[in-house]
Amino acid sequence: MAGRDDTHDDDEDAALFRAAIGPVRELPATPAPPERPRPRPRARMAERDEAQAREDFRLGRGEGFSIERGDVLSHRREQVPPRTLKRLSQGLYAAQDELDLHHSDAATAEILLRRFLGEARDAGYGCVRVVHGKGINSDDSLPVLKNVVDRILRHRADVLAFHSAPPAQGGTGAVLVLLARR
């Protein structure tokens, strides 16, 4: 019977509570918060392809960047006479500084080369040598560092001409670079 008294006490308590509170009315329903806008659809595959193409370009891989291990690097701006490029190829310009990129990965080599060329130009050097190696230890068939060096040198405004070094100065594993004066 103790259970019945508890139920009776609960009912009395509820009745007392309702009497004390008085009549209640239901609150109006609040509208649901607006949904967050859905993100715009993206072309993820196109973004991935674009990122891969940029990385291939940065590393010197892909179409137009297929310099092989034994290939000679050679380039001159239009304002540079062909005779100057020939003299550069024969090693007749003394390299005033040298950068060795052996054992660098492509990203590090790019940073080092850009910094080296800027410092060489600021120092007033006219000719420098960049040792990139022949690419014997490259994972794929193309020498990665050689392609990176070629691409960077071709796109720098302060590089007048460059040519693979003569055999006594590194051959196709190094390049002599003529820099514009400050």
| Least confident window among 57-66, 103-112, 152-161 | 57-66
Please report whether residue 29 resides in a domain. Answer: no
Q: Is residue 85 part of a domain?
A: yes
Indicate if the pLDDT at residue 5 is higher than 70.
no
On whether residue 5 sits in a domain, the answer given is no
Phi/psi of residue 158, nearest 5 degrees: -85, 0
Total structural domains in the chain? 1
Residue with more model confidence, 115 or 52: 115
Which range (53-62, 75-84, 154-163) has the least confidence? 53-62
Residue 61: is its pLDDT beyond 70? no
CATH number, residue 149: 3.30.1370.110
Domain contains 89: yes
Asked whether residue 101 is assigned to any structural domain, the reply reads: yes
Judge whether residue 35 has pLDDT over 70: yes
pLDDT on residue 1: 46
Q: What is the pLDDT of residues 146-177, one digit of tens each?
A: 888 998 999 999 999 999 999 999 888 899 99
Q: Is residue 154 part of a domain?
A: yes
Contact 73, 171 (CB under 8 A): no
- What tokens does 123 get? 């120092």
Most confident stretch, 4-8, 16-20, 124-128: 124-128
So what's the pLDDT on residue 115? Answer: 95
Higher-pLDDT residue of 165 and 49 is 165
- Residue 163 DSSP SS3: strand
Residue 32 lies inside a defined structural domain of this protein: no
Question: Could you list the residue range(s) of the whole structural domain that residue 160 is in?
Answer: 44-179
Would you state the pLDDT for residue 57? 62
> How high is the pLDDT of residue 116?
96
The pLDDT of residue 179 = 95
Q: Is residue 65 part of a domain?
A: yes
Q: What angle do CA 72, 84, 69 make, to 5 degrees?
A: 5
